[in-house]
Amino acid sequence: MTSLTLSGIAKSFGSTRVLDGIDLHVPEHSLTAVLGPSGCGKTTLLRLIAGFADPDRGTITFGDRIVAGQGRPVPARRRRVGYVPQEGALFPHRTVGANITFGLPRRARRAGRRLHELLDLVGLDRGLAARYPHELSGGQQQRVALARALAPEPSVVLLDEPFSSLDAGLREGTGRAVAAALQASGATAVLVTHDQAEALSLADQVAVMREGRLVQLDTPRGVYTRPHDVEVARFVGDAVLLPARIRDGRAECALGVLPVREGDDGHSAQVLVRPEQIRLHRVPAGGVPARVDEVSYYGHDAAVRLTVLPDGPKMTARVPGDELPTPGTTVHAAVEGEALAFPSEAAGSPAETATV
């Protein structure tokens, strides 16, 4: 395995610039999630790394070996890349075992030991080796696809939305199993996804893309707690956005006077609070009075929709499932921790404020 470095990568199709100056370093033995909305260029980026297409500008380096951008590009088959597509694309008429060992030399295929190692690695029962893909669940099929990608011990493993065809329950378990197998194999991996929960829960670092550019490269926690801008903040989680005025490291807004991490004094700004930062008290406790409009109970927690009294903004708080207020009553909403301040012009239209 090896590290992966992209420097100044650009790619256009006709007059459309799809990737614009991407710089990305994926350390050895780590998993980077490339997160972004549909059409932002994620798959194109993976295809360039794999060698299925060439960048117009910039270089791609595996360890200290330049594979694209200087001289003739190294062809895909010589890059030693493992690729896991959206739906495993397993060979339907080959058994699980034959699918996994497809890329191995004949001798290794016969020995069977590597097959067992790979099945163990991705957490599949060895007894499944004789089955055909249609006899497996979607999650099992994706694990087989990963085992097949890992079999030849690739330099880099690329996964293109590998869980998008799975239903929610299977998705989480398969994601964790795949991340664990990648870690156990020591793989250097890039996972493309538009699902922020998947990116935050599985990856070591998250590369947030927008319209062909990399807007933030950070740890999952960094992306969530220190988003580069309002758009990133809203993309990676629910957010309450309020107009505010910053003074002495504090923001004056509809939720009171909140400490902020950053923000220029005397400027009008937008403050961002995560719904789970809003605490609801039955008695005044430093918060502002709010009317409970609606409560959605999810078991582990609940979403409480509020209107700040008398006619302030509407917002949603996430509270523990055992602390449910009654709709129609008045509570006192207080913010725990720091709010994030952003320049007000970056916050979008007024209609977007105070929503989640």
Ligand X SMILES: Nc1ncnc2c1ncn2[C@@H]1O[C@H](COP(=O)(O)OP(=O)(O)OP(=O)(O)O)[C@@H](O)[C@H]1O
* Rounded least distance, CB 174 to ligand X, Å: 19
Q: Where are the beta strands (DSSP E) in the chain?
A: 4-13, 16-26, 31-35, 57-62, 65-68, 81-84, 156-160, 189-193, 205-210, 213-218, 240-247, 250-253, 256-259, 268-273, 278-281, 288-297, 301-308, 314-320, 330-335, 340-343
Rank residues 18 and 258 by Cβ distance to ligand X and give the closer one.
Answer: 18
Rank residues 2 and 86 by Cβ distance to ligand X and give the closer one.
Answer: 86
Residue 218, classed as helix, strand or coil, is: strand
CA distance 78 to 200: 32
* Rounded least distance, CB 221 to ligand X, Å: 24
Rank residues 204 and 211 by Cβ distance to ligand X and give the closer one.
Answer: 211
Rank residues 119 and 145 by Cβ distance to ligand X and give the closer one.
Answer: 145
Rank residues 43 and 344 by Cβ distance to ligand X and give the closer one.
Answer: 43
Residues 328-355 as b or e (16 or more Cβ within 10 Å = b): eeebbbbbeebbbbbebeebeeeeebbe
Rank residues 185 and 216 by Cβ distance to ligand X and give the closer one.
Answer: 216
* Rounded least distance, CB 155 to ligand X, Å: 22
Residue in 352, 338, 341 with CA at minimum distance from that of residue 245: 341
* Rounded least distance, CB 23 to ligand X, Å: 17
Binding site for ligand X (CB under 6 A): 13, 18, 36, 38-44, 194
Residue in 173, 183, 106 with CA at minimum distance from that of residue 142: 173
The DSSP call for residue 224 is H
* Rounded least distance, CB 269 to ligand X, Å: 31
* Rounded least distance, CB 292 to ligand X, Å: 38
